[in-house]
Amino acid sequence: MKAPARLQALIEEGLIDSVVRQLKSGKEADVYVVRSGDEVCAAKVYKEANKRGFRQAVDYTENRKVRNSRQGRAMAKRTAYGRQQQEAAWQSAEVDALYRLAAVGVRVPRPHNFHDGVLLMELVADDHGDAAPRLNDLSFTAAEALQHHAALVDEVVRMLCAGVIHGDLSEFNVLLAADGPVIIDLPQAVDAAGNNHAPRMLIRDVNNLRNFFGQYAPALLATQYGPEIWALYAAGLLVPDMPLTGRYERKPGAVDLSAVLREIEDARREEAERLLRMG
């Protein structure tokens, strides 16, 4: 196919040789299958801020590092320069998270390069060598659901041990590769130690997995892996591959009403996003 303008620049730079086809058109980015030498890769072309649907919520960007104070002031004031820098930071957050997670063995697409708003990365493939499907496009037996759920909980733990929380994990951003699930789409990745909303986001991510796979293996619906994982992390006890029980007993204390209200609003916003994706 004819290369889109944003990918033509990568061809001219010698980073890719050709564009095979468009793989996905999303609210935040378009993804293409491209050739680079003998390898078939994925090229994620980020859309401009005014053309995207995802809201860069302050919950996600809290305490994200900026290069200098001028940049930080501009982003806070939302000047034209500030919006430009905020967009660049949003894109680089995914790139940084992919490199960080791939380095510690988390199952994410291997990043190859990032050039002018285009992320070049591994193409996650299925048994036939084709682009792997998302979980939401598949059905599972109870045994398969338990297996994939356990694998993804392990990946969430490995991510958290590396200091990263996905922040929007669900069946819509997990691909089923030939050798198991692979987590994708991390522009909203959260720093576990530097974000006050980290516990809520981690638990929400894990609950999303529980609720999806619980359709096929109802026993999962009673599990509490999210709170268990966060409690172990907060106590400094969490390590990769550690056995988990899925049980958690909440300590007695006052109810945080503001947190409850935030959860309700999050659920409403999540459902709206989910309906948009499915539509």
- Our answer to whether residue 126 is catalytic in this structure is no
- Nearest-Å Rg of the Cα atoms of the chain is 19
- Our answer to whether residue 185 is catalytic in this structure is yes
Residues in the chain: 279
Contact between 247 and 219 under an 8 Å Cβ cutoff? The reply is: no
Q: Which of 15, 21, 25 is nearest to 3 (CA)?
A: 21
> Considering 38, 168, 205, 266, which one is annotated as catalytic?
168
> Considering 96, 130, 179, 185, which one is annotated as catalytic?
185
What residues are annotated to the active site? 168, 185
